[in-house]
């Protein structure tokens, strides 16, 4: 076999050397080395697929697999070798081929028969996204367990529910916590969808036209753990919808974490004093000794922009590309890798901060006991006496306006004042109103009544237990 003049994957067509700055600019090994384990797995599957079609002998397959195993083991045990040996590698594919040639000589070049880096990177990247989505799911399950623990521990604690950040109606703190939990369960569903989208094997697509050696694409897919193969070779090498779907799922998680963070930043302020921040997830001030800052939540809130930016960046990269593979697609990985790592850390920090937060039950109940929060209950009282709700709403508004004029809580207005507004407002009105009665009235499924919230807690616990059994995830 003729010796090659260089080890580039594409050098034969060129006489001159690439510009040094451009050469550095176009290399991707600095970040796609993260896909090394997937690349080696794909190489193993490809080596096996080349034997039935007569490209590899059984001996060559064994030699190639042994060399790939040796490369994988060395990469695992000696990370510095990756740095030194990969110093001149263009990308992860080039790195492995260089290492194979070092082990096997010219046989190392034979593995690339009938395949392209276009399909290789698409396959490696899909495998990464499938694993990454699973890792993120497990992180969210831990977060959901923290919500479940706090919801159970604080079931009897009411709080002032708000809309427009204004006190609205009493709700249970557990109901509030479960509201956040529901958002994260939707994120789990989106992660599952992203994983399913990635679960199609492109190998056999070539650069764009397919493979000329009648390899078994289904056998390769099965070997790699894919449930199916891609349907069209042109689409297969250029499709990055699975990456968009994963980034969209991550952006949803980040958005929900940011909203949770905003709530806890507010709750930790002296004006609210709803929570006591855990020392383990707080910092102090370099100047003011009394400060205890919610930096864990603020950093979570601040990092959300990175995740959204990664999604928008990939959307922008993809929007103007001609059909089939374009080198622009090299820009699909760095931001996704970074977004995955950030979300992993954000979820872990949020889980710990939530788990160790202490809620100020006395303060929360005091806020929930503001008589203004019972105004809707007064309207419901009138409805039960046969007054149309819109009219009842108007009458209660007049009560509140009168209380404001007298500068007293509306529940302190004398009965004769109430009767002047409406004869239906009798002495039993105020006696029938309380935080506990308001909570208990909301027994509808999904409502804030203790009975309904207990059911919701049991439902979340059941869903989590089923997921733990299914995935083997640890709570």
| 126 within 8 A of 202, measured Cβ to Cβ | yes
Respond yes or no: is residue 195 known to be catalytic.
no
- Other Cβ atoms closer than 10 A to 179: 15
Q: Please compute, for residue 261, the number of CA atoms within 13 A of its CA located in the half-sphere on the CB side.
A: 24
CA distance 38 to 155: 46
* Topology of domain 371-441, CATH: Ribonucleotide Reductase Protein R1; domain 1 (1.10.40)
Question: Which pLDDT belongs to residue 5?
Answer: 46
Q: pTM of the entire structure?
A: 0.92
End-to-end CA distance of the chain: 57
- For 254-384, strand residue ranges (E) read 275-276, 358-359
Question: Which pLDDT belongs to residue 469?
Answer: 57
Which residue out of 227, 285, 427, 462 is catalytically annotated?
285
Question: Which pLDDT belongs to residue 217?
Answer: 98
Q: Read off the pLDDT of residues 307-363 as tens digits, 9 standing for 90 and up.
A: 999 999 999 999 999 999 999 999 999 999 999 999 999 999 999 999 999 999 999
- The domain segmentation of the chain, as residue ranges, is 11-113, 118-215+224-367, 371-441
CA distance 188 to 137: 6
Which residue out of 164, 296, 434, 452 is catalytically annotated?
164
* Closest to 230 measured CA to CA, from 81, 310, 239, 464: 239
| 55 within 8 A of 110, measured Cβ to Cβ | yes
Respond yes or no: is residue 238 known to be catalytic.
no
| 173 within 8 A of 289, measured Cβ to Cβ | no
Low-confidence ranges of the chain (pLDDT < 50): 1-5, 473-475
Q: Read off the pLDDT of residues 219-278 as tens digits, 9 standing for 90 and up.
A: 999 999 999 999 999 999 999 999 999 999 999 999 999 999 999 999 999 999 999 999
Q: What angle do CA 246, 202, 136 make, to 5 degrees?
A: 25
Residues 6+ apart with CB under 8 A from 446: 452, 456
Q: Phi-psi region for residue 409, left (φ > 0), alpha (ψ -120 to 50) or beta?
A: beta
CA distance 333 to 27: 13
Overall CATH class of domain 118-215+224-367: mainly alpha
Question: Which pLDDT belongs to residue 204?
Answer: 97
Question: Which pLDDT belongs to residue 4?
Answer: 44
| 157 within 8 A of 361, measured Cβ to Cβ | yes
CA distance 374 to 372: 5
- Is CATH 1.10.287.130 the right assignment for the domain spanning 11-113? no
């Amino acid at each position: 076999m003729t010796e090659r003049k260089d080890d580039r994957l594409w050098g034969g067509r060129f006489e001159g050397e690439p510009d040094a700055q451009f050469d550095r600019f176009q290399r991707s090994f600095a970040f796609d080395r993260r896909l090394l384990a997937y690349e080696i797995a794909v190489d193993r599957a490809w080596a096996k697929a080349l034997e039935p079609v007569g490209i590899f002998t059984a001996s060559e397959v064994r030699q190639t697999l042994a060399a790939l195993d040796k490369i994988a083991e060395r990469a695992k045990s000696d990370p510095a070798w990756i740095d030194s040996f990969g110093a001149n590698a263009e990308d992860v594919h080039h790195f492995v081929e260089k290492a194979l040639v070092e082990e096997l000589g010219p046989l190392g070049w034979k593995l690339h028969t009938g395949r392209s880096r276009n399909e290789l990177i698409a396959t490696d990247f899909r495998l990464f996204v499938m694993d990454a989505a699973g890792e993120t799911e497990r992180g969210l399950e831990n977060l959901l367990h923290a919500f479940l623990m706090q919801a159970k521990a604080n079931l009897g604690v009411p709080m002032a529910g708000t809309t427009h950040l204004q006190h609205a109606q009493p709700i249970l703190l557990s109901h509030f916590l479960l509201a956040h939990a529901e958002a994260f369960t939707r994120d789990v569903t989106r992660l599952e969808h992203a994983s399913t989208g990635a679960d199609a094997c492109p190998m056999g697509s070539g650069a764009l036209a397919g493979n000329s050696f009648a390899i078994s694409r289904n056998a390769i897919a099965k070997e790699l753990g894919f449930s199916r193969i891609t349907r069209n070779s042109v689409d297969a090498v250029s499709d990055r919808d699975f990456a968009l779907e994963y980034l969209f799922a991550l952006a949803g998680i980040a958005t929900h974490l940011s909203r949770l963070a905003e709530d806890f930043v507010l709750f930790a302020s002296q004006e609210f004093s709803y929570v006591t921040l855990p020392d383990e997830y707080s910092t102090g001030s370099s100047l003011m000794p009394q400060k205890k800052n919610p930096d864990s939540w603020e950093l979570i809130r601040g990092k959300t922009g990175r995740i959204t930016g990664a999604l928008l960046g990939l959307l922008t990269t993809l929007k103007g590309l001609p059909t089939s593979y374009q080198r622009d697609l090299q820009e699909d990985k760095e931001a996704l890798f970074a977004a995955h790592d950030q979300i992993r850390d954000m979820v872990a920090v949020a889980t710990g901060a939530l788990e160790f937060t202490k809620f100020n039950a006395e303060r929360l109940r005091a806020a929930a006991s503001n008589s203004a929060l019972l105004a809707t209950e007064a309207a419901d009282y009138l409805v039960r006496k046969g007054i149309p709700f819109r009219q009842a709403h108007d009458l209660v508004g007049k009560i509140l306006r009168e209380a404001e004029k007298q500068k007293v809580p509306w529940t302190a207005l004398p009965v004769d004042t109430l009767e002047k507004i409406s004869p239906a407002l009798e002495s039993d009105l105020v006696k029938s109103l309380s935080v506990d009665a308001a909570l208990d009235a909301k027994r509808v499924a999904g409502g804030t009544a203790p009975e309904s919230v207990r059911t919701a807690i049991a439902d979340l616990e059941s869903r989590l237990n089923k997921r733990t059994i299914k995935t083997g995830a640890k709570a």
